[in-house]
A and B are shown apart, each in its own frame.
Chain A
Amino acid sequence: MPEQLSADIVVIGSGVCGSLSAHRLVSQGASVLILEAGPRVNRDQLVLNYRNGAFKGNWMDPYPFFPWAPSPNFHPKDNGYLVQAGPYPYPAEYVRIVGGTTWHWAAHCWRVLPNDMKIKTLYGVGRDWPITYDELEPFYYEAEVKMGVSGGPGTGSPRSKPYPMEPMPEPWAMRRIRERLAPGGYEVITNPQGRTSRPYDGRPACCGNNNCQPICPIDAQYTGGIAAATAEKAGAKLIPKAVVYRIEPDPQGRIAAVHYYDPNKNSTRVTGKAFILAANGIESPKLLLLSASDKYPNGLANSSDTVGRNLLDHPSSSLTFDADEELWLGRGEQSPSSIQKFRDGPFRSEHAAFRLDFTNISQVRTAAEELVKQGVYGPQLAQQIRYHAARQQNVKDVLEILPNPENRVTLSSQKDALGIPKPEVHYSMDDYVHKGMEVAREEYGKIAKLLGGTNLRYTPKGEYGNNQHICGTMAMGNDPKDSVVDGFGRTHDHSNLFIASTGVMPTVATVNSTLTAVALALRTAQHIHEAI
């Protein structure tokens, strides 16, 4: 007889969405069990892994790989876990460990714009959200307080209360960029960030380690690891190395249990009153599809046939150049400042909206590697490293791709070490994206000119980087025929199955998705609390 476990609320996934919804529910008196596929990790060990690592440009490198809970990794070569069906590459990265992928992130904590949630009505493209900005606003604030968000004016998103912390101190480089772009009509603002501008909730103030990705060494940056610890401290039970492989419905269509494997493939059944699927925008739809049966041949929560479809992220192009003055990126946090003016407007009926981001990542390593590649030796090498590290800057766009049912996550015929099918991704870019990229490219040129830019290196046309903001695959909507969950994150098909994930966002807007997903997850938790 296999072991059995039970709780009021069973949460699948211990990332920031799962853990903070668990925290909310356990604090309100429910018993909560969190099942996490990966193991616990130790922050200081991750920092050591980074320092001792051979691939410092690969932010997956410090994170160990577990065959029973594999994660995608593409350097030095594709490990084959996230199967690429094309036509466009979708090399998304995520980690499966206690706390999830916000162990490494830029910690941008944006709210969407109210107009982002009704782009179909306003601009005739994409799809509307089933809820309004005003309905989400209190949960945005709750998320900002829990995560410790610092921020200031100029984001374009209305607020009922000030940010919990004043904005991060503006690095000298960003100040110079702001000052020099102002005459060109560009307003550069300090980003809202899950980062401490002063001591907050037991976390120290950021001291500028410039290592937000892959790992903040001091917890100045909020992580899912902190979220999971918060949930456990409040009384949630967390089981690591519990790889959920099946969700079991009862004859009435409610969820009765979930089943997980340990690394040795011993199976355990877990029952509960309500279930929250919070295993990110790829693993969650994978699990719903995996749970197919005779009664549910397309998988669970999938009467609409949209589970896994409408995969969204933020493609990016960029321009790297040398400014005509010394900026010395690498002092302070990695991603401090951005331009908002292209995030909304009537043009959205024609081409994609975007935010423009300036990097503050130290350019020393990339400059050194490039110069060695060029064959620069002798005294010139150190001089030129200093020259480029002082002046090199990069501006990129974070651009909205529209939902397309053919962009999707499916089950691969390939299997992982436990015999579970790997996720397979199908992805493409359309003219809406390409046109937006053209507009961004023109802006890059103007920006570089205002900074006296030389040595301009545009990314090749049509080749876009990815931002690991996995959205859309379990979209919320009012119509059960074309969406997976309702506005509260409840699946249309199973009344006690909820989803807390970036995957429920029906559009991706122009901002990093974590804060919005957490706000939605907290709203879902509130709804569950009222329902049970």
Chain B
Amino acid sequence: MGASASVTHDGLAGSKRGQAIDNAERPQGTADFPDPVRRALLTSLLAASAASVIPPAFAAPPADAAQSAFLSASQTLTGQSSLDPEEASRLYNALIADDPRFADGVQALAKILGQSNIDLMQLQHVLDNENSPVATLPRKIVTAWYTGIVGEGEKARCITYETALMNVVVADKLQPPSYCYGAPGSWVEKPA
């Protein structure tokens, strides 16, 4: 009783399970051992900005300020300096549709990210530890950019696919699935 086998398919058994990646095997950096000095700095920054995180709804900031903050936060979180503004607008609109407080939250997040000495590998850990009101935002933003998906569960929807960053950052090696790789048999060669 209680065994909960998940659905898998030909060629993909268990690929969604048992995925707890051991950070020690990562090429560099970990998310689990924050530098105490940086952590203290980030904590104080969070405290300083906390008061402005959730203003009353009637005091909603202008949309362009929030969009600008979204683009800025997106550049930092994705590690990509040149993000397409039109795509940014589509992702932003999808994100605010799910969460009316997103516009305020992303501005608070942008302020945090705008501080120097932010260690992005510690960011989630610190936000979680502080129970920050913006703790859920980085994942939402990065998920939107990298996988093209906004929303979770039954609310999930695809905003981008071919230009989702996960496909862009491997474009020298792979096509997005469903697109032709190349001439028949071209995949026998070592990836260039």
In contact, B5 and A315 (Cβ under 8 angstroms)? yes
CA distance A328 to B173 in the complex (A): 7
CA distance A374 to B153 in the complex (A): 19
CA distance A217 to B165 in the complex (A): 23
CA distance A198 to B21 in the complex (A): 40
CA distance A217 to B179 in the complex (A): 8
B38 within 8 A of A: no
B51 within 8 A of A: no
Contacts of B153 in A (CB 8 A): 76-77
- Report the interface size class on chain B: 35 or more
In contact, A91 and B178 (Cβ under 8 angstroms)? no
Point out the residue from A56, A375, A466 that lies within 8 Å of B123, measured CB to CB: A375
**B154-186 vs A: 1/0 string, CB under 8 Å?**
101110011001110110011101111111111
B37 within 8 A of A: no
In contact, B158 and A175 (Cβ under 8 angstroms)? no
In contact, B25 and A454 (Cβ under 8 angstroms)? yes
In contact, A386 and B184 (Cβ under 8 angstroms)? no
Per DSSP, chain A at the interface is loop
Per DSSP, chain B at the interface is loop
> Shortest beta-carbon distance, B188 to chain A, in Å?
5
Given the known A-B contacts A105-B10, A172-B189, A320-B19, are A211 and B177 also in contact in the complex, defined by CB atoms under 8 Å?
yes
Point out the residue from B10, B18, B151, B167 that lies within 8 Å of A460, measured CB to CB: B18
Given the known A-B contacts A359-B12, A377-B120, are A169 and B188 also in contact in the complex, defined by CB atoms under 8 Å?
yes
**A347-370 vs B: 1/0 string, CB under 8 Å?**
000000000010111101111111
Point out the residue from B10, B29, B78 that lies within 8 Å of A335, measured CB to CB: B10
Interface centre among B175, B177, B187 (most CB of A within 10 A): B187
B80 within 8 A of A: yes
B68 within 8 A of A: no
In contact, B79 and A378 (Cβ under 8 angstroms)? yes
Contacts of A88 in B (CB 8 A): 3, 5
Contacts of B184 in A (CB 8 A): 169, 197-198, 205-208
In contact, A91 and B7 (Cβ under 8 angstroms)? yes
Contacts of B19 in A (CB 8 A): 320, 366, 370, 457
Residues of B near any A CB (own CB < 8 A): 1, 3-23, 25-29, 31, 76-80, 120-121, 123-125, 138-139, 142-143, 146-147, 149, 151, 153-154, 156-158, 161-162, 165-167, 169-170, 173-175, 177-191
Listed by A's residue number, 11 A-B pairs whose Cβ atoms lie within 8 Å are: A55-B156, A74-B7, A87-B1, A381-B146, A382-B80, A457-B18, A457-B21, A464-B5, A465-B14, A467-B10, A512-B10
